[in-house]
């Protein structure tokens, strides 16, 4: 593992920029996850608490309502609805190639651009650049900035940061969970963040019907040791008349990637009578690009999360195997 960057010089500059800024826009990536949302919400609260600048947060997609119980009253502005030339500072948090890259093309010439990220393959660049993939999450980098300034963290800030950390570490199960990550989480709990409330919010879309379906599906997951792939198919008869929701299926795939040695998971399911969908998720450090697999089936997405839709039927054989007709 490479040496972790401390960003002390950058943090000093960032603190100075925030002190002199008037109008700041903080943006998370499209189709935002809890790290993108947690980081921009935490940064908004921190700026409002300690600096005089105006702060707007947003994303090209809406706020996840499932997180409203832990981050109440949050409203995202869509950059398309804003005059981006009004901002003197724009900050992109987490996976900045998915949204922030578009924002920086529309800002005024003297606007200061800032990136805080933990994705090694990022191509978007900025005036002030803090990106290091040895951090579990963007929220963990932000925590270090907040403590560097010696300005106070309150319960709202701690909750938003811990939500991002819990989400990006798969609840502290992925290999990106370092001793530092756990120390940060412990401190955020001391500041009032609740692991229980965060976990409930992150997994609030689960219900008994979903869990029953998961049970039937999980019984038959096949793990291919050589490739590190976990694969499962859900045929019509497994659904027991239950109307499948695609989000639930991608949750199964995500959960499978938290199992040790699983590098990627593929969940194939009968969506309706003649449509099969697939949900693919890769473990962050597993070095598998699942979008390449999805592409071969006409689908798409990202390296870590993608999907496809094909016509056909999943047939379960007597031996408990399955095939697509
Ligand atoms: Mn992240």
CA of 246 to the centre of ligand 1 (A): 22
Q: What pLDDT was estimated at residue 266?
A: 96
- Cα–Cα distance, 323 to 7 (Å, whole number): 52
CA of 63 to the centre of ligand 1 (A): 16
CA of 164 to the centre of ligand 1 (A): 7
More confident residue, 300 or 13: 13
CA of 138 to the centre of ligand 1 (A): 5
Structure tokens at 64: 């996840």
CA of 260 to the centre of ligand 1 (A): 20
State which H helix or E strand residue 247 sits in: helix 246-256
- Residue 137 confidence (pLDDT) above 80: yes
Q: What is the DSSP letter of 197?
A: H
Q: Please give the average per-residue pLDDT across 214-220, as a whole number.
A: 85
Q: Please give the average per-residue pLDDT across 262-285, as a whole number.
A: 92
- Residue 265 confidence (pLDDT) above 70: yes
- Cα–Cα distance, 139 to 115 (Å, whole number): 13
Percent of the chain with pLDDT over 70: 97
Per-domain residue ranges for the chain?
A: 8-202, 208-324
Whole-number average pLDDT of the chain: 92
pTM of the model: 0.76
CA of 239 to the centre of ligand 1 (A): 33
* Alpha-carbon distances of 92 from 118, 123, 164, rounded to whole Å: 12, 13, 15
Report residue 205's pLDDT band, with 50, 70 and 90 as the boundaries. low
Q: Please give the average per-residue pLDDT across 116-122, as a whole number.
A: 88
Count of positions (residues) in the chain? 325
- Residue 239 confidence (pLDDT) above 80: no
Query: Domain 8-202 belongs to what topology?
Result: inorganic pyrophosphatase (n-terminal core) (3.90.1640)
More confident residue, 240 or 89: 89
- Cα–Cα distance, 125 to 197 (Å, whole number): 36
| 303-323: pLDDT as tens digits | 887 889 999 999 988 877 888
Measured over the CA atoms of residue 185, residue 190, residue 193 and residue 198, the dihedral's sign is positive
**Which CATH number, 3.30.460.80, 3.30.1360.20, 3.40.50.970, 3.10.310.30, labels domain 208-324?**
3.10.310.30
- Cα–Cα distance, 171 to 23 (Å, whole number): 35
- Residue 301 confidence (pLDDT) above 70: no
Q: What pLDDT was estimated at residue 305?
A: 79
CA of 28 to the centre of ligand 1 (A): 10
| 140-189: pLDDT as tens digits | 999 999 999 999 999 999 999 999 999 988 788 777 889 999 999 999 99
Q: What pLDDT was estimated at residue 247?
A: 67
| Beta strands at 314-316 and 322-324: parallel, antiparallel or unpaired | antiparallel
């Amino acid at each position: 593992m490479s040496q972790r960057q401390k960003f002390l010089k950058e943090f000093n500059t960032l603190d100075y920029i925030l002190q002199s800024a008037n109008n700041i826009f903080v943006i998370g990536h499209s189709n935002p996850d809890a790290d993108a949302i947690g980081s921009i919400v935490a940064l908004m609260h921190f700026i409002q608490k300690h600096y005089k600048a105006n702060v707007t947060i947003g994303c090209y997609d809406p706020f996840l309502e499932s997180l409203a119980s832990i981050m109440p009253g949050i409203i995202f502005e869509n950059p398309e609805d804003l005059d981006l030339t009004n901002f003197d500072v724009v900050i992109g948090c987490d996976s900045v190639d998915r949204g922030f890259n578009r924002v920086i093309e529309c800002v005024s010439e003297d606007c200061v651009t800032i990136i805080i990220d933990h994705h090694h393959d990022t191509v978007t660049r900025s005036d002030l650049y803090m990106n290091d993939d040895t951090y579990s999450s963007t929220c963990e980098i932000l925590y270090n900035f907040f403590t560097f300034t010696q300005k106070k963290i309150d319960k709202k800030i701690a909750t938003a940061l811990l939500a991002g950390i819990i989400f990006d570490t798969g609840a502290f199960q992925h290999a990106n969970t370092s001793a530092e990550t756990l120390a940060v989480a412990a401190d955020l709990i001391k500041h009032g963040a609740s692991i229980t409330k965060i976990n409930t919010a992150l997994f609030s879309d689960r219900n008994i019907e979903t869990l029953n379906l998961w049970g039937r599906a999980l019984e038959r997951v096949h793990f291919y040791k050589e490739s590190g792939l976990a694969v499962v198919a859900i045929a019509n008869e497994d659904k027991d008349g239950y109307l499948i929701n695609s989000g639930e299926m991608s949750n199964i795939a995500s959960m499978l990637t938290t199992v040790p040695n699983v590098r990627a998971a593929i969940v194939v399911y009968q969506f309706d009578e003649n449509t099969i969908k697939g949900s693919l998720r890769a473990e962050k450090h597993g070095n598998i690009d699942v979008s390449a697999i999805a592409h071969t089936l006409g689908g798409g997405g990202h390296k870590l999360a993608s999907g496809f839709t094909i016509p056909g039927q999943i047939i379960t054989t007597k031996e408990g195997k399955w095939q697509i007709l």
